[in-house]
Amino acid sequence: MTAIEVNQLTRAFQSKRKAAGLAASARALFQPEYNTVEAVRGISFRMEAGELLGFIGPNGAGKSTTIKMLTGILHPSSGGARVLGFTPWKEREKLAFQIGTVFGQRPQLWYHLPAIDTFLLFGKIYELDDRETQKRIDLLAEAFEIRDLLETPVRKLSLGQRMRCEVAASLLHRPKLILLDEPSIGLDVVAKQHIRDAIRRMNQEEGVGVLLTSHDAGDLEALCKRVIIVNHGQIVYEDKVSNLKRKHLTTKLVEVRYAEEVPANFRLDGVEILKVGRYGVKLRFDTDQTAVDSVLAHLSGVGELVDITISDPPLEEVIAKIYREAAPASS
């Protein structure tokens, strides 16, 4: 079953343009000049029910704008979309019963009150009966480990604690789909891990589909099966996360330590030497150009190996490379 179907979705914004200075400000009063910014330019994609889909791209790529159109908050300039069978901007209230949203940079919990008050309010807003609300709160409190936080005013929670409550709140009404816009922004490693675990658990147990925007490649690796990369309002890459790694993670980083000193004139063809220390070497090579076994054979020929680490470059680098390759010549 298809959860989201997006067809040539486009959204342009008008923004005022004004040169610096007082004279230009005065002129702008009478003759305002507008720039048309195309935040989203003809995006098309599908998402299956229960899928974990990553939607990533740099700032200003059009991620949030797309999410806002999919929740029905923004009307598109052109193009179409169906979310759970609804046209979002025409049937926003009906759709709202079926989806949950978290905009990571903004709180939806009432700031001065304990989170439990917002949970109970949401129960009423989503028309759950009181027993059902309580049951959901119990389940989510356990999944997100927030039982002890529910009665503390939200303003006194740490960012990580608050975000767990925020995401939990968005799941209260058993949505079929949640749209998470940067849920891990500003969180430390442990807090990120916490949120990811809970989201994955809810996806497995309840089959809730997750569309997640992020510029943290870690979210993608930990959570998503498939990824869509956007830049300049267009889709520049769409594939399984495992394929992304296989096809684009072709460089390897190697660190070697030897029992004896490394010869000062250490060299190796087809390999980029990053660092030569007294007992160790750090290098990088592309597996398409240089075979792994020839590199390893050469390295073990240099001396007695004590330790060797072979690693992939961070996914972030890979994604940055995709952005660069896909950058349209016009912008």
Partner 1 sequence: MKKYLAILKMQVINNLAYPGDFLGRSVSIAVFLFIFAGLWQTTYIIAGTASINGLTFANMMWYLMMAETIELGRPRTNRIISEQVKNGEVAYILSKPYNFVLYHFSFGLGDGLMRIVINILVGILVTWLLAGPPPSLLGWGMALITMVGAWILHFCMMALIGLAAFVVEETNSFELIYQKFVFVLGGMMLPLDLFPQWLQEIVRVLPFPYMMYAPARLFVKPEFDLFLQMLAGQWFWVGVLVVLLALAYRGSEKVLTVNGG
Among 101, 161, 214, 231, binds partner 1 (CB under 8 A): 101
Q: Does 106 bind partner 1 (CB under 8 A)?
A: yes
Among 8, 18, 32, 112, binds partner 1 (CB under 8 A): 112
Q: How far apart are CA 211 and CA 257, in angstroms?
A: 43
CB of 53 closer than 8 Å to CB of 178: no
Q: How far apart are CA 87 and CA 330, in angstroms?
A: 33
Nearest to 320 by CA among 244, 233, 256, 210: 244
Q: Does 35 bind partner 1 (CB under 8 A)?
A: no
**Number of alpha helices (DSSP H) and beta strands (DSSP E) in the chain:** 11, 13
Q: How far is CA 90 from the centre of its chain?
A: 27
Among 24, 26, 125, 297, binds partner 1 (CB under 8 A): 125
Binding window for partner 1 (CB under 8 A); candidates: 46-54, 94-102, 183-191, 251-259: 94-102
Q: Does 103 bind partner 1 (CB under 8 A)?
A: yes
Q: Does 124 bind partner 1 (CB under 8 A)?
A: yes
Among 50, 79, 153, 313, binds partner 1 (CB under 8 A): 153
The residue length of the chain stands at: 331
Q: How far apart are CA 305 and CA 299, in angstroms?
A: 8
Q: Does 214 bind partner 1 (CB under 8 A)?
A: no
Nearer to partner 1, 41 or 248 (CB): 41
Q: Does 65 bind partner 1 (CB under 8 A)?
A: yes
Among 19, 24, 113, 310, binds partner 1 (CB under 8 A): 113
Residue 241: count other Cβ atoms within 10 Å of its Cβ. 19
Shortest CB 108 distance to partner 1, Å: 4
Report residue 223 as tokens.
Answer: 């959570």
Q: Return the C-alpha torsion angle 57, 61, 67, 68, nearest 10.
A: 160
Q: How far apart are CA 259 and CA 306, in angstroms?
A: 6
Binding window for partner 1 (CB under 8 A); candidates: 17-25, 117-125, 234-242, 305-313: 117-125
Report residue 194 as tokens.
Answer: 């916490």
Q: How far apart are CA 167 and CA 249, in angstroms?
A: 32
Burial class for 105, CB neighbours closer than 10 Å (0-12, 13-18, 19+): exposed
Binding window for partner 1 (CB under 8 A); candidates: 104-112, 234-242, 274-282, 309-317: 104-112
Q: Does 17 bind partner 1 (CB under 8 A)?
A: no
Task: Determine the size of the site formed for partner 1 (CB under 8 A).
Answer: 33
Q: How far apart are CA 110 and CA 151, in angstroms?
A: 12
Among 52, 83, 96, 212, binds partner 1 (CB under 8 A): 96
Q: Does 121 bind partner 1 (CB under 8 A)?
A: yes
Binding window for partner 1 (CB under 8 A); candidates: 17-25, 120-128, 136-144, 303-311: 120-128
Q: How far apart are CA 83 and CA 308, in angstroms?
A: 49
Among 1, 16, 20, 93, binds partner 1 (CB under 8 A): 93
Which residues make up the interface to partner 1 (CB under 8 A)?
Answer: 13, 39, 64-65, 68, 71-75, 92-94, 96-97, 99, 101, 103, 105-108, 110, 112-113, 117, 120-121, 124-127, 153
